[in-house]
Amino acid sequence: MGPGNPAGATAGTAAAGPPQRPDVLVYVANLHSDTVSVVDTGTGTVVDSVAVGDGPDSVAVSPDGSRLYVTNSAADTVSVIDVRTRKVIDTVVVGDEPSRVTVSPDNRNVYVANVASDEVSVISTRTRAVTDTIAVGDAPLGLTLTPDGCTLYVANAASGTVSVVRTATGTVTGSIPVGSGPTALVLAPDGRHLYVSNLTSDDVSVVDVRGGTESDRIPVGDQPAGIGVRPDGRQVYVANIGSDNVSVISTRRGAVTETIASEDGPNGLAVSPDGSRAYVSNFDSDSLTVIDTSTARATDTLAVGDGPTGVTAAAPLPRPGSSAPPPAAHPAR
């Protein structure tokens, strides 16, 4: 399949009637077309395609919604995009093969996992320069921060561990053994548990944050990768690359309660800020699957760029020249 649709082209089933402001914009990193697709979920269309560096692998939106950070895995850089203009305003050199990115809750720092150099780069959002480099485990992939930004958790795919990093000092304070090939991780809204997708052991590790140990291991589909949690903490969603589906885990039961068919190669996954939808990037079919979390059903499939990987969802900001106020923010996770 070729690159994603140009701005304004229809992808999937658009809503009837006049165009409306979207509740959520979804940003998708397309590894093979070196672009980020911007999806208007209100109309089911790709409204823009932003050219970035070589091999974009993941995306993260700043807490204030003004910046998008994109890791370019083949260029060893991070592209900084102005969300309103949808233009790249800077490119930051980081470590070898940057794979994942996240932004601190206070919007001061960006953390980048560099899979080939076994480290995390810390970028200042003010200067847009690397201010620190933190050595972690082998082949770091997944990243997540606590709500206060004091602790960073890093999934190390080749060492089967999660590094615990104190962000104030940039030091590793612990290493937690998990399953084989930990690839992505998400912190439950109550902050008590981490859920870690283990790509090569086909399961999800549940980590007791306070005790610093794995407390459970939940079997899911083949090669679990992207992972997300609802804001109410009741369900965790896992994209399984090898079985072309999404596992829904009940956090209360500690087991898979639903399995949702996706397109080929589901990889990245994001839950909407209000928890009503999950968005899954399908690497091998160049598409984005939209899941209604209330019914556990796929409701739409949208064409995006070539080799979609990382995905994130955020409330939109008004474009330049627009007098329309931004929509009400969804509840925070």
Does residue 20 carry a pLDDT above 70? no
Q: What is the mean predicted confidence (pLDDT) over 273-292?
A: 97
d(CA 240, CA 264): 10
In contact, 257 and 248? CB cutoff 8 Å: yes
Q: DSSP state, 9? A: E
**Which amino acid is it at 186?**
V
pLDDT at residue 319, as a whole number: 66
Q: What is the mean pLDDT of residues 10-25?
A: 47
Residue 174's region, left for phi above 0, alpha for psi from -120 to 50, else beta, is: beta
What pLDDT does 7 receive? 29
Residue 243 has pLDDT above 90, yes or no: yes
Q: What is the pLDDT of residue 166?
A: 98
Strand order in the sheet with 130-135: 98-103, 109-114, 119-124, 130-135
Q: How far is CA 222 from CA 59, 85, 178, 270, 283, in A?
A: 24, 39, 17, 19, 15
| Cβ neighbourhood burial of 1 (10 Å; 0-12, 13-18, 19+) | middle
Beta strands 130-135 and 161-166, pairing class: unpaired
Residue 22 has pLDDT above 60, yes or no: no
Contact by Cβ (8 Å): 136, 129: no
Per-residue pLDDT at 122 exceeds 80: yes
Whole-model pTM? Answer: 0.89
For position 138, what pLDDT does the model report?
98
Give the mean model confidence (pLDDT) for residues 46-58: 97
Please report which confidence band the pLDDT of residue 316 belongs to, taking 50, 70 and 90 as the band edges.
confident
